[in-house]
Amino acid sequence: MKTDGGSDAAKRRAGERAAEEIENGFVVGLGTGSTTAHAIRAIGRAIDDGLDIRGIPTSFQARQLALAVGIPLTSLDTVDGIDLAIDGADRVVDAPDATAHGALIKGGGAAHAREKLVDTAADRFVVVADPSKLTDRLERSVPVEVLPDAHTVVADRLAELGGEATLRAAEQKDGPVVTDNGNLVLDCEFGPIDDPDGLATRLSGLPGVVEHGLFVGVADATYVGTDDGVDVRR
């Protein structure tokens, strides 16, 4: 699993702390990535000890891990709601006085379409992160999932919005990354993003865009694993 440079011990603390929020009977959104994987493993251990929950995975990767650790799975269209979603992030704005406080960039694992669906459907969405993810201003490229034959047209539209798009390439083989939904990902550099909400609205309005990785006003709290504990940011 991708680790993006943060300490695995910090990720584990964040993930395990979030898993402690789960109560019997919960439907839980299972995010994607190396930090959430710690939460998924902790949920599996709690199930071995008698916890009774159902999980909704946000990706094939999360599904495989959840099955491996014994989490019973369900699907979004067969439940009344999601009690709690736990998910990682590539960047989290940590600037309590800024309007963008709590905004996220996600999609490092190309799972952001399903992640946004599940995370926004949850009654409560907890982000799990290590300190390397915190920033006072979003500057990282924004993943944009696009229909396969729309990638050049969308790249042109992104340029009109001031972004420079690169088709994400697969690491293990020649060719592009293909998402679980059969689409492609453009990673788009905008430089510093001072108005993530406005940019999110513009990206959502582009024909051919399936989903983008800006999550604004979605997270309820961020659990940040530290050297010796967990910091909860709201």
How far does CA 66 lie from the centroid of its chain?
A: 16
Single out the residue of 62, 65, 89, 200 in contact with ligand 5RP (rule: CB under 6 A): 89
Q: Rounded to the nearest 5 degrees, what angle is found at the Cα of 24, between the Cα atoms of 22 and 28?
A: 45
Q: What is the DSSP letter of 13?
A: H
Q: Binding to ligand 5RP by residue 107, rule CB under 6 A?
A: yes
Q: Which of the residues 16, 20, 23, 115 is marked catalytic?
A: 115
> How are strands ordered across the β-sheet holding 184-189?
164-167, 184-189, 142-146, 209-212
Using the minimum distance from each CB to ligand 5RP, give the nearer residue, 121 or 153. 121
Q: How many residues bind ligand 5RP (CB under 6 A)?
A: 20
Q: How far is the CB of 4 from ligand 5RP (least distance, A)?
A: 4
State yes or no: residue 145 binds ligand 5RP (CB under 6 A).
no
By CB under 6 A, is residue 180 in contact with ligand 5RP? Answer: no
Burial of 160 (0-12, 13-18, 19+ CB in 10 A): exposed
Please indicate whether residue 189 is annotated as part of the active site.
no
Q: Which residues are the active-site residues?
A: 115
Q: Give contact residues for ligand 5RP (rule: CB under 6 A).
A: 2-4, 31-35, 87-90, 106-112, 115
